[in-house]
């Protein structure tokens, strides 16, 4: 049986998972523990690792059975077919959540104009701007070397640099035009 990716309403992942379990459907909603601050205290809460997604393990002919559960929107599709996740990948997510500190887990997407710092490899400690992002491959303009490089983020560690919008606008104005 394959694992299908189920799209849910915003902030309804745990509700959908409970409803599917009550219907006897095997579901996996990966949760990470996060420290949240209230006005008077800190509290550890569980939030979904992937917002608006749950994974369901069922046969192709049983896919329609999930639509009676409140909060279910539909299935995620890839190339006009329901997206399937390999059991090995589900196990990898489970192992990752069991083995690592949840505070350090974060799903990060890189977009053009994002500032980042390379934290491993030959260009370690170099900062630059994302010119383009295509899956795991990024094209980066390194400021200090005045060159463009392509990196694979599955092999090179990078981190986003948080900058203010005002600083980003000022940096754009300082860029020379070629």
pLDDT tens digits along 96-106: 887 655 454 45
Same domain membership, residue 119 and residue 61: no
pLDDT of 108: 64
Same domain membership, residue 155 and residue 86: no
31, 33, 2, 1: which is closest to 16 by C-alpha? 31
Average model confidence (pLDDT) across the chain = 83
Q: Which of 13-17, 63-67, 123-127 has the weakest average pLDDT?
A: 123-127
**How many domains is the chain built from?**
2
The pTM score is 0.58
Mark 56-85 as b/e (b = at least 16 C-beta within 10 Å): bbbeeeeeeebeebebbeebbeeeeeebeb
Mean pLDDT, residues 34-62 = 90
Q: Which residue has the higher pLDDT, 104 or 159?
A: 159
Same domain membership, residue 88 and residue 22: yes
Same domain membership, residue 131 and residue 59: no
């Amino acid at each position: 049986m394959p694992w299908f990716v189920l799209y849910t309403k915003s902030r309804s992942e745990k509700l959908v998972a409970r409803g599917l379990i009550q219907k006897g459907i095997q579901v996996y909603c990966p949760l990470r523990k996060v420290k949240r601050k209230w006005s008077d205290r800190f509290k550890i809460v569980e939030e979904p690792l992937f917002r608006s997604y749950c994974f369901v393990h069922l046969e192709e002919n049983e896919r329609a059975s999930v639509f009676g559960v409140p909060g279910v929107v539909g299935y995620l599709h890839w190339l006009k077919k329901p997206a399937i996740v390999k059991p090995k990948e589900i196990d990898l997510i489970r192992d990752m959540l069991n083995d690592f500190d949840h505070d350090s887990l974060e799903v990060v997407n890189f977009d053009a104009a994002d500032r980042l710092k390379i934290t491993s490899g030959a260009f370690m400690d170099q900062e630059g701007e994302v010119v383009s992002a295509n899956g795991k491959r990024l094209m980066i303009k390194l400021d200090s070397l005045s060159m463009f490089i392509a990196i694979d983020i599955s092999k090179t560690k990078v981190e986003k640099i948080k900058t203010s919008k005002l600083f980003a606008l000022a940096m754009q104005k300082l860029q020379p035009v070629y």
